[in-house]
Amino acid sequence: MRHPQEIEVWYIMPAIRKELCNILLDKYNFNQKEAAKLINITEAAVSQYKKEKRGRHVKLPESVLAEVNISAEKIVNAESTVFRETQNILNHIRDTSTICDIHKMLDDSIKSNCTECILHLKIKKGVESSPSIDKKTVEHYF
């Protein structure tokens, strides 16, 4: 069984980047160079996403695509960063159990009642933020 993080890194993040590229190219009329610069990837990567050589293994559901569109608008309008919006989309995928659906689709060994991918939902409610990191430090980092 693959770890949920592997599914995110190898399949979900490329699918998110592919959708972001397509939105920037089609909806906002960016050229490949502009799209690459904005989302911090190479022009070659943008080309591969456009030609579906990357990010083709997972088709994101409509609810996730809606989130990607919202995120793209925030990124284009400089209201947020690619990093922050990618994390927001990944959180949405986890919080809606979409990660489980994608994991089951990619790995035949996953049982239909598996909940390993979403155990963080039960755990994160009891986790407090570290007192050694204040909000100002976090904001400066991002």
- State the average pLDDT for the chain: 85
- Overall residue count recorded for the chain in this entry: 142
pLDDT at 133 over 80: no
* Burial of 85: CB neighbours in 10 Å, binned 0-12, 13-18, 19+: buried
pTM: 0.81
Cβ density class 41-69: b for 16+ within 10 Å, e for less: beeebbebbbeeebbeebebeeebbebbe
Can you count the helices (H) and strands (E) in the chain? 9, 0
- How far, in Å, CA of 71 to CA of 101, rounded? 22
Domain range for 65 is 4-141
Q: What is the pLDDT of residues 51-94, one digit of tens each?
A: 999 999 999 999 999 999 999 999 999 999 999 999 999 999 98
Q: Please tell me the total count of domains within the chain.
A: 1
Which of 64, 56, 49 is CA-nearest to residue 101? 64
∠ CA(121), CA(124), CA(129), 5° rounding? Answer: 160
Instruction: Give residue for tokens 């083709």.
Output: 56
